[in-house]
Amino acid sequence: MNGSQPATDLTTVLDGDHRELDRLCTELELGQGSPENRRDLADHLIAELVRHAVAEEPYLDGEGDLAEADRLMRRLEGTGPQETRFERLLSGLIHAVRRHVRDEGPAAVRRLRGGWSPERRAELGKRVLEVRDAAPSLPHPHLADRMPQADQLWPGPGFVDRARAALNGAAEDTGSPG
């Protein structure tokens, strides 16, 4: 990454996402914590991945690692941490995220760097950050009574779709990044 790029440059934003996704995968791969804690961390990975996918998908081809991750996230939604398939699905999700972070994501970032001016990338990065700031995020369980949208984004069945809808709604409010 070029150190002179502004923090709002879309490529800087996406590179930062890739580093955070990689860090969350590493934390999950360590396999520490109770099943419930692993479920919470998996939900956090899913929330971050949805945020990233909404930001990056306009610049990727329709299929690939993010599409595979999306299928796995949806299967994970309804799976409890005590179920035997939870760790298998989580492992598949981590593998898809790792492939994206290693291959598909950096290729999209390279295309953006080569195809758009620094000014345009800064404008798009700023829009992506505005959408993220405007969209509700995954609430902490202890804050549920103080966050009116907590029930909309609470993890569980439909979480991926609710998170995408919230981010897409925020994009419409601030102007789409595309």
Alpha-carbon distances of 97 from 18, 52, 125, 161, rounded to whole Å: 9, 11, 21, 18
Sequential pLDDT tens for the chain (178 residues): 445 566 889 999 999 999 999 999 999 999 888 888 899 899 889 988 888 887 777 776 656 778 889 899 989 988 999 999 999 999 999 999 999 999 888 888 888 888 889 999 999 898 888 877 665 555 433 333 433 443 334 444 455 555 556 555 544 554 544 4
Alpha-carbon distances of 18 from 99, 108, 121, rounded to whole Å: 11, 12, 17
Query: What span, in angstroms and rounded, lies between the C-alpha atoms of 158 and 42?
Result: 15
Domain boundaries, the chain: 10-174
